[in-house]
Amino acid sequence: MDVTNKTRKPLSVPLPGGKKLHLGPGKTAKITPKAAAFPPLAKLVEDGELELFGGGAKSGGGPSDGNAGGVGNAGRRGSGGIRHVGDR
């Protein structure tokens, strides 16, 4: 879920757990659905200072491009030992 600052001033957006999101003018950030339901944030949306979008649920079934997770280590086997480098 994304949130966009629609004002011309930086905003300090309250989030659950006492956290704050500092959002510059016209900037967008990702937040959780739990944060979107937080009453102080909802008030900023009602006042027109923030815009929420992308509230759809993620599709199940894993990645859509067919790649499996852990692609960065594909084909590598670690020896489990210590790697020695340099003059020793």
Q: How many domains does the chain have?
A: 1
- 84 part of a folded domain: no
User: What whole-number distance in Å separates Cα of residue 21 and Cα of residue 36?
Assistant: 12
Contact, 28 vs 4, CB < 8 A?
A: yes
Structure tokens at 85: 């480098």
Structure confidence by residue, pLDDT tens digits, 12-71 = 999 999 999 999 999 999 999 999 999 999 999 999 999 998 865 544 444 445 555 555
- 9 part of a folded domain: yes
pTM of the model: 0.59
- 68 part of a folded domain: no
- 14 part of a folded domain: yes
